[in-house]
């Protein structure tokens, strides 16, 4: 089978990028990580990519005339590399039609809450401040909204008395690191399909 190529987009630490790379190296995820796209040159994730031998496209949005301009550049690079799936992993930007068009249904994101609860920034802090007893992790297809696309998979994480945003984050991250490679493999295997109404995601056994 031809290799299934993914590009990971990240802005910061890149622990999810690392989990994906580790899963590939361990033979648990049958994809090729063809490119890291990073909007913050110097972010820790770029060091992780260098260590893993993954090519990086790092750019500063302010060096471009518009969002359309940098997204067009990204699309060109993704197409040159034959990227099949875009994996957003802590990429702190909304994706616009410039990328959504050519990669329709082929962009996914991971978010540290049970969507539709707590979209946007600091989802873990929002959940702790709200006082929820259960939160979790969501992987979803990306549309033009903020964490609004069809949900592919979710996992729960329970909060205990005295939990803080930091302690909840420490529970959530390992769940993310397990769930994201699993979902990517499911997509790679053709198990994940979107229903006709474009909202429900079905998993084939």
The Cα angle at residue 28 between residues 37 and 46, in degrees rounded to 5: 20
Where does residue 188 fall: left (phi above 0), alpha (psi -120 to 50 degrees), or beta otherwise? alpha
Q: Which range, of 9-17, 33-41, 75-83, 100-108, touches ligand GRF by CB under 6 A?
A: 9-17
Closest approach, Cβ 176 to ligand GRF, in A, equals: 5
Among 4, 7, 15, 157, binds ligand GRF (CB under 6 A): 15
Give whichever of 28 and 93 is closer to ligand GRF, judged by the CB atom.
93
Among 7, 78, 86, 89, binds ligand GRF (CB under 6 A): 89
Quote helix, strand, coil % in the chain, to nearest 5.
35, 25, 40
Q: Is 149 in the site for ligand GRF (CB under 6 A)?
A: no
Q: Which contiguous run of DSSP H or E holds residue 36? A: strand 32-38
d(CA 105, CA 103): 6
For 96-99, the CB contacts below 8 A with 24+ separation are 96/67, 96/68, 96/71, 96/144, 97/144, 98/67, 98/68, 98/71, 98/72, 99/71, 99/74, 99/75
Give whichever of 98 and 135 is closer to ligand GRF, judged by the CB atom.
135
Q: Is 31 in the site for ligand GRF (CB under 6 A)?
A: no
**Binding to ligand GRF in span 101-140, by CB under 6 A:** 110-112
Active site residue 177: no
Q: Which range, of 11-19, 61-69, 159-167, 181-189, touches ligand GRF by CB under 6 A?
A: 11-19
| Residues annotated as catalytic (active site), given as ranges | 111
Q: Name the residues that contact ligand GRF, by CB under 6 A.
A: 10, 12-16, 89-90, 110-112, 176
């Amino acid at each position: 089978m031809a290799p299934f190529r993914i590009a990971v987009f990240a802005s910061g630490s890149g622990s999810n990028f690392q989990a994906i790379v580790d899963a590939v190296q361990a033979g648990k995820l049958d994809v090729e990580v063809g490119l890291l796209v990073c909007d913050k040159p110097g972010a820790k994730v770029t060091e992780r990519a260098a260590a893993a031998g993954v090519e990086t496209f790092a750019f500063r949005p302010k060096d471009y005339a518009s969002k359309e301009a940098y997204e067009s550049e990204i699309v060109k690079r993704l197409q040159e590399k034959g990227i099949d799936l875009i994996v957003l992993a802590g990429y702190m930007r909304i994706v616009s039609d410039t990328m959504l068009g050519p990669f329709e249904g082929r962009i996914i994101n991971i978010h540290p809450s049970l969507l539709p609860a707590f979209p946007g920034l600091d989802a873990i802090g929002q959940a702790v401040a709200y006082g929820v007893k259960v939160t979790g992790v969501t992987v979803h297809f990306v549309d033009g909204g903020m964490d609004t696309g069809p949900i592919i998979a979710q996992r729960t994480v329970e909060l205990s008395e005295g939990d803080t945003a930091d302690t909840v984050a420490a529970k959530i991250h390992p769940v993310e690191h397990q769930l994201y490679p699993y979902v990517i493999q499911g997509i790679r295997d053709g198990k994940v399909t979107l229903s006709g109404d474009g909202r429900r995601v079905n998993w084939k056994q």
